[in-house]
Structure 1
Amino acid sequence: MDICSYMYSSLNSSLTNKTLYAKCADTPAAIIFYLVMQFLNMLLGIPANVMVLWLIQKKRRDSSTSDIFIVHLAVLDIFYCLIPPLEFASIVYLTTSSNWYVVRFFYGLKDFSPLFLSCICLDRYMAVVHPIFFTKLMNTRRRSVCVGVTWFVILVYAAAKCVKKIPHFEKVFTVMILAVFIFMVFCNISILWALRQSASGRDERHRIKKRAFKIVVIILAIIVFNYFPPVALFPFKDFFSPNIFCCYIHHIAFAFMDFSSTIQPILYLSQVLAAPAAAPRCCYSCMENDSEHANANFSATV
């Protein structure tokens, strides 16, 4: 939202004491849509992410290699889902700038949350496309280091966004979301191709691969649904007028992206609840010592 603040302050200094909603009073539809989506995100996302944390804690002995990334993504999403009341007040009622420091920090957390989703996609990509190399890297320490580095990058970015004194800082998000989107699409298409190539056969292992194929199709669709709008529109920000970009495009794109805080945990929960019927625990345990175990371990993919 600070991008809009820059635009309006450069257009007309007389607007600086108006709320963001007042600045878009002639075209409020997109802001209303955004706020409705944010409150839905809060009401649905918090319990869904808490349930994800509870289920992962409950099944620690049978956890997958991606669970460490899923846990931290759920924690980050819970924090972000707490912000709608303050965000609503800042957009509609408050004209002071102090509250925006907190809001921008939470925006920064959400902006770079796709990094955890990228880690999950990379983990699944290695498991399916390079299973032999993957088995050599099934080390909790390596994933903990990856989580630590990811959190460091996210917090540094959020702190810098909070300060709002770095010129053209919004371009960092555009570059990051474009790169992460391309990376996630590449990983998931590669997974789909590998699973499609190995989906023939009638044994239990191939039935699990077919289920994994369907799961990855859903994941790819959600990645496109949540992250394609900002990827497609933000690089062309300069082609729109400041009013159109701030009052329409900016809010609609972020409404879809931010709703991933609800869609991602719901997808995870649907997979966990469906897993026992599709593949009993004994089936997974039988494959623990199989060289193709990594290919089939998709039960906890987000």
Structure 2
Amino acid sequence: MDRYASPLNVTTNLTLNATVKHFSVFDGCEQYVEAILFDLTLQIINVIVGIPANVLVIAVLIHNRKEPSTSDIFLGCLAFMDAYFGTMTPLNFLNLYIWHSKAVWSAIKFSFGVKDTSGPLFLSCICLDRFVAVLFPIAFGQLKHIEYRLSLTLLVLCLTFAYSAAKMVGGFPNFEKVFTCEILAAFAWMVVCNASILSALKKTRTAGKDDMHPMKKKAFNLVLSILCIIIFNYLPLVALFPFEDHYSADVFRCYVQPAGFAFMNISSTIQPLVYLSRLEKVPFLPEAWVKKFCSCISAERSKPASERNTPA
């Protein structure tokens, strides 16, 4: 299970080896073009929407640096990695159709490795931070120093770059199983962790009343949004990739693989939009834009309390 064995990558390698075969994005997958088109479409969305959204997330985190959240460093790194992945998409298209450069292709493979690793690991760090804060508040108070999160961030970056470099070089036997194990372990941890947090936070409510502490309610909404992201973006990979042997080689390479990675790739757009939609006010943007593009929940929160409590 290696995303670089997809039809786009195989065809590119043929071109780089100077074969006389005519280039085609759908080479060998003419019967399964839907999944490839789906993946390419979502990558284009990452460029148009995802890059500006991630840059805005980074700007908001810098703007709020005087009152930071303990998870801000993880959110910032995640936004930076997603923005970087989005910027590589135009280079990928240009290299597929015009340049046919081996050096550019190596850089693109490195960016795929960054996306494969940084997203699940940084989301796991955010879940760990919230898990300790809610279930072990005393320990969390002792571990609030930025040094702990910097150390964890450095560890994630080292793992990400090591994995990406290995993917770029290639040739390691059964190396694709590393991603399978990583995504399964990260998915299981994030789901169990977030489910435990939601269960603990719901117990703070009085029966029949919504009197959760504002900070805990904020944490509840954050964890719930992360859980939705995890299920939508990573469940297809977890559900399909471990059963690679049950598909024919062409079906897995041309249909299952592009479709599975497409759901993970679009997280580069979904994650920053979910974060921005949770903000009561987005700096640097006119208030009219915020009201137009934020979710219905954000719009409801922006109304005066008297209007929200008015019966229909």
Query: Considering the TM-score relative to the shorter chain, is it more than 0.5?
Result: yes
CA–CA distance in 1 between the matches of 2:73 and 2:80?
A: 11
1:181-227 CA distances to partner (integer Å, 9 max, x unpaired)?
00110110011110011122879753543454344233212210000
> RMSD over aligned Cα, in angstroms?
3.0
Deviation of residue 88 (structure 1)? 2.6
1:132 paired with 2:138, answer yes
Show structure 2 runs of 5+ residues with no match: 282-297, 303-312
Say if 2:237 and 2:261, in contact at 8 Å, map to a contact too.
yes
Residues 181, 102 of structure 1: alpha-carbon distance in 2 compared, 3 angstrom cutoff: same
Say if 2:73 and 2:149, in contact at 8 Å, map to a contact too.
yes
Residue in structure 2 matched with residue 195 of structure 1 by the alignment: 201
CA–CA distance in 1 between the matches of 2:242 and 2:136?
A: 34
Say if 1:42 and 1:81, in contact at 8 Å, map to a contact too.
yes
Residues 215, 199 of structure 1: alpha-carbon distance in 2 compared, 3 angstrom cutoff: farther
Residues 120, 256 of structure 1: alpha-carbon distance in 2 compared, 3 angstrom cutoff: same
Residue in structure 1 matched with residue 254 of structure 2 by the alignment: 247
Residues 65, 214 of structure 1: alpha-carbon distance in 2 compared, 3 angstrom cutoff: closer
| SS of structure 2 residue aligned to 1:60 | coil
Residue in structure 2 matched with residue 83 of structure 1 by the alignment: 88
Residues 253, 16 of structure 1: alpha-carbon distance in 2 compared, 3 angstrom cutoff: farther
**Of residues 203, 221, 227 in structure 2, which corresponds to 1:220?**
227
Deviation of residue 91 (structure 1)? 5.0
1:48-106 CA distances to partner (integer Å, 9 max, x unpaired)?
11111111111111111000111111111110011112223455667665442121100
Residue in structure 2 matched with residue 234 of structure 1 by the alignment: 241
CA–CA distance in 2 between the matches of 1:40 and 1:214?
A: 26
CA–CA distance in 2 between the matches of 1:5 and 1:207?
A: 50
Residue in structure 2 matched with residue 110 of structure 1 by the alignment: 115
**Of residues 37, 40, 47 in structure 1, which corresponds to 2:45?**
40
User: 1:266 is aligned with what amino acid?
Assistant: L
Residue in structure 1 matched with residue 308 of structure 2 by the alignment: none
Say if 1:35 and 1:88, in contact at 8 Å, map to a contact too.
no
CA–CA distance in 1 between the matches of 2:73 and 2:64?
A: 12
1:21-45 CA distances to partner (integer Å, 9 max, x unpaired)?
2222332111111111001011111
Normalising by structure 1, we get a TM-score of 0.83
Residue in structure 1 matched with residue 286 of structure 2 by the alignment: none
Residue in structure 1 matched with residue 78 of structure 2 by the alignment: 73
Residues 93, 7 of structure 1: alpha-carbon distance in 2 compared, 3 angstrom cutoff: closer
| SS of structure 2 residue aligned to 1:246 | helix
1:153 paired with 2:191, answer no
CA–CA distance in 2 between the matches of 1:69 and 1:159?
A: 22
User: 2:112 is aligned with what amino acid?
Assistant: Y
| SS of structure 1 residue aligned to 2:172 | coil
Say if 1:50 and 1:74, in contact at 8 Å, map to a contact too.
yes
Show structure 1 runs of 5+ residues with no match: 280-302
Residues 253, 39 of structure 1: alpha-carbon distance in 2 compared, 3 angstrom cutoff: same
CA–CA distance in 2 between the matches of 1:214 and 1:94?
A: 46
CA–CA distance in 2 between the matches of 1:224 and 1:44?
A: 21
CA–CA distance in 1 between the matches of 2:46 and 2:223?
A: 23
Residues 76, 156 of structure 1: alpha-carbon distance in 2 compared, 3 angstrom cutoff: same
1:3 paired with 2:5, answer yes
User: 2:251 is aligned with what amino acid?
Assistant: I
1:128-162 CA distances to partner (integer Å, 9 max, x unpaired)?
11111100100101111111111011001000000
Residues 144, 16 of structure 1: alpha-carbon distance in 2 compared, 3 angstrom cutoff: farther
Say if 1:127 and 1:134, in contact at 8 Å, map to a contact too.
yes
CA–CA distance in 1 between the matches of 2:158 and 2:262?
A: 25
User: 2:84 is aligned with what amino acid?
Assistant: F
| SS of structure 2 residue aligned to 1:23 | coil
Normalising by structure 2, we get a TM-score of 0.80
Say if 2:205 and 2:211, in contact at 8 Å, map to a contact too.
no
Q: How many residues align?
A: 277
Query: In percent, how many aligned pairs have the same letter?
Result: 42
Q: Judge which range, 195-204 or 125-134, deviates more.
A: 195-204
Q: Judge which range, 205-214 or 77-86, deviates more.
A: 205-214
Deviation of residue 239 (structure 1)? 1.4
| SS of structure 2 residue aligned to 1:112 | helix
User: 1:46 is aligned with what amino acid?
Assistant: I
1:166 paired with 2:180, answer no
Residues 6, 237 of structure 1: alpha-carbon distance in 2 compared, 3 angstrom cutoff: farther
